[in-house]
Amino acid sequence: MADASMPKGVPAVAAIDQGTSSSKAVVVGADGRVLGRSSVGIGRADPAPGWVEQDANEIRESVVAALVTVLDSVDVELVGIGLSNQRESAVIWSRRTGEPLGPVLGWQDRRTADRVRPLEESGWAARIRAKTGLPLDPMFSALKYEWLLDQVDPHRDAARRGEIALGTIDSWLTWTLTGEHRIEIGNAGRTQLLNLETLTWDGELLELFRIPPVCLPRVCASTEATAALIDVPGVPRGTRLHGILGDSHAALYAHGVRAPGQVKATYGSGSSIMGLAEVDDRAGARVLDGLVTTIAWADPVPAFAFEGTILSTGATLLWLAKILGVDPAQLSALAQSVPDTQGVDLVPAFAGLGAPWWDESAVGLVSGFGLGTGPGHLARAAFESVALQTEDLFSAVEERLGTPIDTVLADGGPSQNDWLMQVQADLSQRRVVRSNIAELSATGAAHLAGVSCGLWTAEECLRLPRDRSPFDPLMERSGADARRQTWRSAIERSRFQPAIPRKQSES
């Protein structure tokens, strides 16, 4: 039931953030305040090393449940809905029944890694990067689409007849909520199939990955309203999705970034940094080796951005907590119980390393340990790996853009740990300004939807309240430099692949 303390009948937007571990929903009033929030957890399966799967129907049900719950908690005039979502995850379903034809392959899924090497040896990596702004990597959707089609339609007969639909999570949710097969352009840019020059599906890449064009959704601007939602309890008839963004893009929007010059770091299972590129600077952003070009949003003109993705940060903490038999809060307490790692480094290359290295062959390792190493040192090394990987990206951006980064905008679940944010400020020697809004991606989607449906103007949206906390470096620069040097040595060991000696032939 609605809380009696809530405003009655005020105009508001709702927004959903469909993430890897949960679907969150918020309601944001015309004054920018979050009036209600809800969250519904979802599962994941890891059926083999490097495989990450989720259930598409469970994702849809979690979104509806979160939306129904939050709308039941407030009494507002709903004027529109926003959506943010995990990005590269791939879904396949039947156009006739609407049912999934296989598991959702999560963005962390690496089962297609063996497909990368032959493509690289054939010279495709540079061409794919030139067309899409993305390195050839299993994280992006194209290889996932190819694998899913191979399982259900190896000859592509059903696909060519238009019986099979492919999409990212925003496509799946839009289909199941409205009946439209479409994809927001920022999400389309993460598939490794969108040509950044033409802003359309690239025919040459579709042929390379054996994906019939009829399988793919129509590419839409972030602010293009969908058809009305169908049969969602508590949602007024005629309500539409007015703003759709990838989760990291939505966080950037919620921070109030609308022009080049600011960089944000989003901490989650993995992490990413992102900043806007110069207007329409597709080629300029694309030459940043180790980073990628992405489309932040289109309103309706595309805003281009650079991004670096770290494959394992928060997931590293969850993994070590499980190994040590503690929860994440206890792991943080363990890490804070020691003054340093006592020389221990933990490189979480569980599935290779992401930006700025993009090294599929890198291996996870723990180095520098001895008989005096205890759980606290391992815990601190895990937390410091989050900050050090993020600093690697800040340094790469500085070097390749030639512009210093003095302040970093931070968000995401792990960022709510004050001690971790202080570690980030210390090891980076930069000011960190952390958003205190737990549902920042959902809030960004709400802001965009509000602008799109006329609840605010773009200028009014920028003036909405943004709760933040600053963290300034307390460590001496010399100490930070020394710590980063030991980390770089550990990274080098992680990436070093000695040649396998050949067996001597018998005479």
Rounded to whole angstroms, the Cα distance separating 380 from 316 reads: 12
Rounded Cα distance, 5 and 17, in Å: 25
Amino acid 355: pLDDT: 83
Ordered mean pLDDT values, 10 residues apiece, the chain (507 residues): 52 95 94 94 93 97 96 94 96 97 95 94 93 92 98 97 98 97 97 96 97 98 96 92 95 92 87 79 50 91 90 92 95 97 95 84 93 96 96 88 87 92 97 92 96 95 93 97 96 78 42
pLDDT of amino acid 9: 79
235: nearest Cα among 222, 226, 244: 226
Calpha distance 132→141 (Å, rounded): 12
Looking at residue 1, its pLDDT comes to: 38
pLDDT at 498: 58
CA distances from 423 to 89, 277, 416, 430 (A): 31, 28, 13, 11
Domain 8-243: which topology? Nucleotidyltransferase; domain 5 (3.30.420)
- Structure tokens that stand for 246 in this block: 């990838």
For residues 63 and 59, what is the distance between their CA atoms, to the nearest angstrom?
Answer: 6
Kind of pairing, strands 75-85 and 241-246?
parallel
**Contact (Cβ atoms closer than 8 angstroms) between residue 98 and residue 176:** yes
Residue pLDDT, tens place only, 102-113: 999 999 899 999
Specify the pLDDT at position 289.
61
Structure-token match 């943004």, residue found: 466
CA angle (353, 355, 361) in 5-degree steps: 25
Q: What is the pLDDT of residue 285?
A: 44
Helix (H, G, I), strand (E, B) or coil at 80: strand
Ordered by start, the domain boundaries in the chain are: 8-243
Euclidean distance between CA atoms 460 and 272, whole angstroms: 28
